[in-house]
Structures are given as structure tokens and as C-alpha cells.
Structure 1
Amino acid sequence: MDPVDATPPRDSVGLAADAHSVAPLLNCLLREVAEPVGPGTSGVHRLRASGRLLRVRGTRRPTDPEVRTAGTWHPLTHTELVKLAAEELRAFTGLSNSELPAEMLDSREAVAAFLAARADAPVPRDPYRRSEQSLITGHPHHPAPKARGGGPAAGWLPYAPEAYARFPLALLGVREDTVVEEGDTTALDTLAAAPPGYRLLPAHPWQLDLLGGELSAAFADGRLLRLGRTAGEAWPTAAIRTVHVPEVLSGSALARDLFLKFSLDVRITNDVRRLWRHDLLGLRRTDRAVTEAFAGLPGAWLSDRGYRTADFAFEELAVVVRDGLGGHLAPGTTPLLSAALTEDTAAFPDNPLARTTDPEAWWEGYLRAVVPPALGAFHDHGVVLEAHLQNTLIACDASGLPVQAVYRDAEGVKLLPDVSREAGWERLVYCLLVNNLLEIAAAVAEHHPGVDLWAAVRRELARHDDVPEAAALLGSLTLPGKTNLLLRWTGADGADARYLPLPNPLTAG
């Protein structure tokens, strides 16, 4: 059972925040630095460095952690679990880290703030928006999935998707001789009018707050103007720094159903979410490759069609223009964020996975939607999609059956031969199999026990017998599991993925 089954009353927000925050941290500890004790000791794990025993309940979202001390099991709060994790990681790695424990605690405080805010916020009518704004637990294998940089909640809560936020965008005028842009950015010019000699540049208000006085010289000498705010409101997707701009805000067909991605100088999960110069300079090449690949593939791709910024604040003020959903969805379908399908039913009661009366058909539909475009892009076009849960939208028909995958985010895409085929395949297997299918499969099993999930995956992979790696995957004993806890503890770059072998459920049965 998930840690929270209903929106908690206000006096139990702290307990609910603990439960939501304990689950992903436990998943990290059990995957990366522990091992099951053995038969007859269900839920008991030995921490490898210290030898201490840790007991939990549940599997997909483990709860109620207890540590064995002096022959007795002692329950752990989230704060106590953070302390235990830090002690174990120091022993395991020989390294100290004061930053990550603070992030873990910040993540828990953020969850408490979300839960309190949601209790008073109107629930959005649009099921797609509800799916994007439902991720209260978030990444199931990250020690601090909801950390917001350690600042006070008053600074970031107005922009938090988990709090059903919506807000106007800040509008800046950038002097024309300082503008840098590539690709198609014409949609930005429909948001408002810029004065003569200036170009319009929308900005995320939280990012402007974070920049503080860094732009004061540009405002003082006229390179930058404040033009107010948009008349209507945008709303943040699960990615936080990417917002949806509805047609009513733009007032123009050019900007209908538009997504805008901003820099955000805050560490969220493994990375500071700035639009880095090297990624922006490679954006058009990457996006063209993916767009060309999807011209002959099932599913759809939301193109990152261009970016605009200022040369004196290239990364800080950059904005990426992304296709909206209009024109990409199969007729009569409703898009949902795949990650929402793994959240508890209180956070996302619209979940068609939970409501389906034919879970086998639902699961087969999901596989048919998400697997072929990801494998086809890799094998036929050398494109490695970052096909994890937060970059996958699943379009469902009126009965809730998945019929189409929509992928997004060129920044996370890798191209062959920029990376080797072997490295590209490992990344695809982690994103598609481990981060996506394993998590969705676990949710299916939780809602509908007894479904033979992995036989269907084997059948789907067997259909792609032209992809040699897919055939090899059917016989591999392990899958690559990303070590987010160790990666953050050792201070590795967020893009420097490190994997450990996980049992491959495809070889069972």
C-alpha cells in the first residue's frame, strides 16, 4: 500500500510528509548499500558497511523503517533515517558530506508544504494538468526528490507544481543588439509587445528572484527593461522550470498550447537546473535528429524548436520554446504524465491504471505505445531518448487504454556516435526499462495483483528482433540501476550516471 491513501487532515501533515519522504530514501538505501538478509526474514536488510539490520514494510514504497539495536527493533522517523543513512554512507565511501543530509531534510519540509497548500488549493479541472502536478513523492529512487534549494517555502511555493501553482510570467525587454537566439522563437513575440529596439523575453519570476542584483547593471544601462507580467497565467509542469502557456494567455495561434523551459538556479534531484550554454548550443542539432526520427516512428515528439536569451546573461535568462500538445495527440485521447501513474491515488485519483478492469490489456497497450518509438529511434536513427517517467506522456482513449506515447526534452537526448552504442543502450535500458517500465509494472501489480507482467514485456521486445540488443536483453541476468544516493554523496556530476546491476525480471519464468 502507498504511504498515503487519502489527503491527510492538517494535523497529520507531518506524518504524511515523513511517509512520502521515507519511501524513496529507503529505496535508495536498500538498492545501493544494503542486501536482504535471507529467507524467513521478510523486509530485513543488512547495511553493508556497518552490518546493522534495517527492517521495512512494503516493497514499491517501503514504510515504517526500524533499526535493530541491542536486540530490539527501534522505529525511525525520517530525520533519524537521514542520520542513519549519513553514518552508513560515511562508512561505505570513506567520505563526508554535509550537503546531502540537508537536502534530504529540505525535501521532507517541501513535501509538508505541498500537502498543506494542496488542502486549500482548488483542484485543476484539466486531467493532464492534474497529472503533471500530482508528484508528491516524486522520483522513487532519489534520497531528496523534492528538495528546493533550502530556501524558505515562501520563496518557491507560489511556483510549485505540487501545490497546484499557476502564475503570470515576468516580461522583459532585451535590447536587440544583445539578443542571442536559434531556431523558431516567433511564439515568444506573441506574448506581448516590446518597445522599438527591443525583443520580448519572458522570464520565470522565481529565477528573477534568485538572480537578485545580478542583472542590476543591465537594467541600469538599458540593455534590459521590465515590461510587467503576462495578462494571464501559466502553470508549471512536473519539471518545475517548464511551464505550460495556455492559448488564453498568448491570444495567438502561434503560441497555442505552448511550453516554455527556463533556467532555474536551484538543485533539483541531481542537477542545478540551469540551461547550460553547451546544451543550448547543441539543442537544434539534437532536436532536428529526434524530429526527423519521429517522422517515421509511432508516437510523437514535442520539439524544442528554439531558444532566446541575452548575451550578457546567456544561461541565466535563456528560455526554450517547446511544442505544445496540439497537433501531436491521437484523436480523442487524453494525455497524462506517466510518472503520475505511479503516485498514490490521493495525489492522482484520475489514474486509469488503477481504474481499469482489464489490467493485462492496459499493460500491453502501454508497452505497445512506449517501447517501439524508443527502440526505433535508437536502432534506426541513433537517437537515445531519455525515456524516463517524467519525459513520457501517455495518451489514453476514452476507456483509459494507452494508445500513444509522447516524448519530450531534447536536453536529455544523446546521439550516436557522440556516445558509443554500448553506452547509449545502457542509458536507454535504464531510462526505459528500469525507470519507466519497472515502476509502471510495480504499480500495475499493486493495483491488480496476479497479472503476468513480464511475459508481455518479453513478447513486446521479441517483436523487435532487428535490434540485437533487445534480443540480448531477454537473456541478460541484470539491468542497470542508477545509484542516485551514492552519486550525490560522492559529489559526482549529475550527468555522470553510475549504475549497479539489478535482477532482470525478464529472465524469470
Structure 2
Amino acid sequence: MAPADRAGRDGLAARAEACAAAPLLNCLLREVAEPLPERGGRPVYRLPSGRLLRVRGTRRPAEPEAYTAGAWHRLDHARLVRLVCEELRCHTGLANDELPAEMLDSRDAVAALLTARARATPPDDPYQRSEQSLLTGHPHHPAPKARGGGPASAWLPYAPEAHARFPLVLLGLREDAVVEEGDTSALDALGEAPPGYRLLPTHPWQLDLARRALAPAFADGRLVRLGATAFDTWPTAAIRTLYAPGPDLFLKFSLDVRITNDIRRLWRHDLRRLRRTDAAVTRAFSTAGGQAVGGPAAWLSDRCYRTADFAFEELAVLVRDGLREHVLPGATPLLAAGLVEGFTGSPLHGAADPEAWWEAYLAAVVPPVLDAFAYHGVVLEAHLQNTLVAVDADGTPVQALFRDAEGVKLLTDVPRAAGWERLVYCLVVNHLTEVAAALAERRPGLDPWPAVRRELARHDLPEVRALLAAPTLPGKTNLLLRWTGADGADARYLPLPNPLADA
């Protein structure tokens, strides 16, 4: 191997290690470690076993070292995984055979993505670049890039991080097997089905994963293959949600792969309550009647689904509003998670006045979430991957768009306190904390929290007043959730210091 090739390979491997180690370290240090005074300018932590660990950096910790035999020893990703597993066994008294493999798979997936990305042509569209920028991914998950342990060749053609584009596979579903709710005309417009059948678009990866289960339906004619769409789609950060620019639709599919905490199916119980939930959010964002949410914010409605009665979850497809009717004229939507991760052309990197940019960001994102809660009993899941922020020609935030009815909670279904806790975690801890940290990292000396406090204080809610005085915020424990085998939807929180109280 030529020296240049070897250097490139080594550099890719080092970057993959760093991308995989940072979220794993974030989880370990947040959930089970005790911070100690810095040593040599580096944060130091005591782990459950009594062992000491030090890292470089805070937002994206790197270069972990364990103190053993009187000296600090560097941990590569494999050794870090072993250390994390030992500490979790010590902390919980439980073993776990699945999560270590997921952590290693996440690192290998990052390496495969980096290799593929180096050969791919980045999209010209800044919105697509923002959706497809997440090489690190969820900043507080132990294995954010795991892809189910399968070979990279099976999933790379559909990976957003590799700038994938591909057509949908079109199936004909016999009419007597169709299950659907909502206005499904957008699905029928994607192609032409033969008499006695309805059109059913499918994600090619999911079709491959489910091929054995679906073989009888193809054999007896309940399903027929009709080819592919005449247009390409591209995967968003959610992987199983695809955007079709031509018809301006988002299409969300089941994907029988564990990604972060869950197997990413469109579960029957979620689909059955989807229309009711989406209708409640749509009303909250409507200006027709009652108190609408603040500003020009928009909701991307999950307006219908279609599936087969014999493969309800495996073949489900959900149609979500596109962008054109919702984004303000002249504005460009960007994924909030992409702003945190960073991508070419990100306005967070180039803001001439970062304080003014941040105030505009907060004014776009915060009021709709609090208004939906206060006036409509709707708890938006306003985390980084469910929030788009549209910016004007100067890169200034002017609008927020929210998505994913599956994650929305209604106060008619959950206790108000539980709904508020979920709102604070998604909006403040998962979302604003990360954007604030990314902005402050690029602008040393900037304190982002007084502006957050001012924006929240504009809303006359008893929960807001309590939040501004609370010593702690709720932090989700993704590492412990996965280690203990808890259901992915069973959120558990631990107290984190509240920067709002001191702002």
C-alpha cells in the first residue's frame, strides 16, 4: 500500500473512532460517572468501579484515557466499549450481550459511511446537505450509527450519510387486502396499478428484509411487482423517511432494523392513533378558530397511511406533507440536527452576529412548542431530528417547522407533568442545549443561556416559571435504557444541572 493510501486509511479510521467514541463517552459520563476536578486541563471522572477516566473536550469528548498501574492509558474504541461494559455491570449488576455488538457495529458503520461519502457527490441543495450530514448522530446514544449488524453492502445504498438517492419499488396490493386511513390519493398518483389492485410504494431495503415473510403473498397474487418510480427519492436523517422532491412528499416506511433505541417499524398501535394525533396538532397550527401557535411556524402533517392486512406493519407507508406549501417564500429549511453536526454552508458557522442569530433562532422555535402545550394540550417532540429551521437569504432563522405525529403526546392521554417533562427534555435538553453548545464552541465567550431564559420568560405558564427556578433538567438515559433492555419508548430521566437557573 502506498504511503498516501495508508495515511488516508489511517485518517479515516481515526475519524471513525472519534465519531463513534464521542456519543458513547457522552452517555457514560452523563449517566454513571462522577465529575472530579480537572487534571492538566482535562476533565476527569470517577466511574462506578472507582476507576478514573479523563477525556479532551466537553461537547464531543475525545481521546479517553483510563488511569491504571500509576499511569494514564489511551483507550481505542474497542477498549472503550469493554470499559463501558465493565462499568455498567458494576453499576447495574446486569449483563448485556447485545449492546456491545451494537457499539462496535456503530463504529464500523461510521467507517463505511466515511469511505462511501468520500466517493459521493455532495448535494447542491442545502436542505438535503443538512439532513444527510449526521456522521456522529445522536450526541447521547451509545450506538447511534448501528445498522442492525448486517453487511454494509446491504444498507449503504440507502444511507443518508452517503448521499444516497434511489427510486421506490412499486407493488400492486390486491384491493381486498388494503388497509388505509386518510386521503391516500398522493400514493395513487405515484404510478399505475392494474385493475383490482392499489398502488403500494415500498422502501427497497425493507422489501429485501421482509422478502421471506412476503413470499406467500407474491405467490398467490395478493402482491404483484410493478417496477419502480420514475423519480428518485432521498433518505432524510431518519433513514426510513424519504423525500420525493418531484411530488414534494415525505414517505415514511417500516424498517426492520434497530436504529438507536427501537426497531423502526410503523407499529400497528401507533398507526391506529395517528389520525387523531395528527388532527390535534393540525388544529393547533391552524389559524382557523381559537388560539393558534405563535409566529409563522408550520406542522408537516402525517396525513394518511396505506398497508396490507396480512403484513400490517411490514408494508406500511405513511405520507407526510412536503415543504413547498409550508416554508416561507425565499426561506431555506434546514434540519436542526444538521446545524449541530455541521455541514458545508451552515448558517450557524457563518453568523456575523451570533447573539442576534441565536435570538432569532429561539424566537422561531420556542413559542410554537409552548403555545401548542398551553393552548391545545399538544406536546410536540421538538428534538433535533424533528425540527426544521428555515433561514432567510442572510442565514437568519425566520421559521420553525415540526414533524412526526408518532412522537407527539396529547395531554388528554398523559398526565400534564409527564407531558411537560417530555417537552423540556426534547426542546431544552436534546435541542436547545446542543445548538447552544455548538454556537458557543465556535464563538468563545458567548453565553447562550440568558437569551433562552428571556425567550422562555415571555410565556406566562406556571411550568415555565418553575423551570427557570429549577436546579435540574431531565436528561434521558439512553445508555442505561439499552443496557437494561427497557422498551425504547420507556423514557427514564436523571437530573442534569439547569443552566437556566444561573443565566
Q: TM-score when scaled to structure 2? A: 0.96
Q: Is 1:238 aligned to residue 227 of structure 2? A: no
Partner of 2:483: 489
Alignment of 1:13-162 (within 5 A): 13-38=12-37, 42-162=41-161
- Matched to 1:117, the amino acid is A
Shift of 1:11: 4.1
- Matched to 1:492, the amino acid is A
Partner of 1:478: 472
Partner of 1:267: 258
Unaligned runs of 5+ in 2: 1-6, 287-291
- Matched to 2:361, the amino acid is Y
Shift of 1:39: 5.5
Partner of 1:360: 355
Equivalenced residue count is 490
Runs of 4+ aligned residues of structure 1 deviating over 4 Å after TM superposition are 39-42
- Matched to 1:268, the amino acid is I
Shift of 1:452: 2.6
Partner of 1:504: 498
Shift of 1:44: 3.8
**Quick one: distance in 1 between partners of 2:231 and 2:9?**
31
**Contact 1:305/1:321 (8 A) holds in 2:** yes
Q: Secondary structure at the match of 1:226?
A: strand
- Matched to 2:320, the amino acid is R
Shift of 1:230: 1.0
**Quick one: distance in 2 between partners of 1:303 and 1:414?**
15
- Matched to 2:251, the amino acid is L
Alignment of 1:87-486 (within 5 A): 87-247=86-246, 256-295=247-286, 296-297=292-293, 298=295, 299-344=297-342, 348-465=343-460, 467-486=461-480
Shift of 1:129: 0.4
- CA offset digits 1:463-504 (Å, max 9, x no partner): 002x11011111000000000000000000000000000000
**Contact 2:43/2:57 (8 A) holds in 1:** no
**Quick one: distance in 1 between partners of 2:8 and 2:199?**
44
**Quick one: distance in 2 between partners of 1:368 and 1:41?**
40
Shift of 1:232: 1.7
**Contact 1:309/1:317 (8 A) holds in 2:** yes
Shift of 1:169: 0.6
**Quick one: distance in 2 between partners of 1:142 and 1:330?**
34
Shift of 1:111: 0.4
**Contact 2:258/2:264 (8 A) holds in 1:** yes
**Contact 2:475/2:493 (8 A) holds in 1:** yes
Q: TM-score when scaled to structure 1? A: 0.95
Q: Secondary structure at the match of 1:38?
A: strand
- CA offset digits 1:221-262 (Å, max 9, x no partner): 111101111122100000000000121xxxxxxxx2100000
**Quick one: distance in 1 between partners of 2:72 and 2:47?**
18
**Quick one: distance in 2 between partners of 1:202 and 1:400?**
36
**Quick one: distance in 2 between partners of 1:99 and 1:77?**
20
**Contact 2:217/2:223 (8 A) holds in 1:** yes
**Quick one: distance in 1 between partners of 2:318 and 2:258?**
19
- Matched to 1:84, the amino acid is L
**Quick one: distance in 2 between partners of 1:271 and 1:257?**
28
**Quick one: distance in 2 between partners of 1:451 and 1:105?**
36
Shift of 1:184: 1.2
**Contact 1:338/1:390 (8 A) holds in 2:** yes
**Quick one: distance in 1 between partners of 2:491 and 2:132?**
27
**Quick one: distance in 2 between partners of 1:323 and 1:508?**
40
- CA offset digits 1:430-482 (Å, max 9, x no partner): 000000000000001011111231111111011002x1101111100000000
- Matched to 1:449, the amino acid is P
- Matched to 1:473, the amino acid is L
**Contact 1:44/1:53 (8 A) holds in 2:** no
**Contact 2:32/2:48 (8 A) holds in 1:** yes
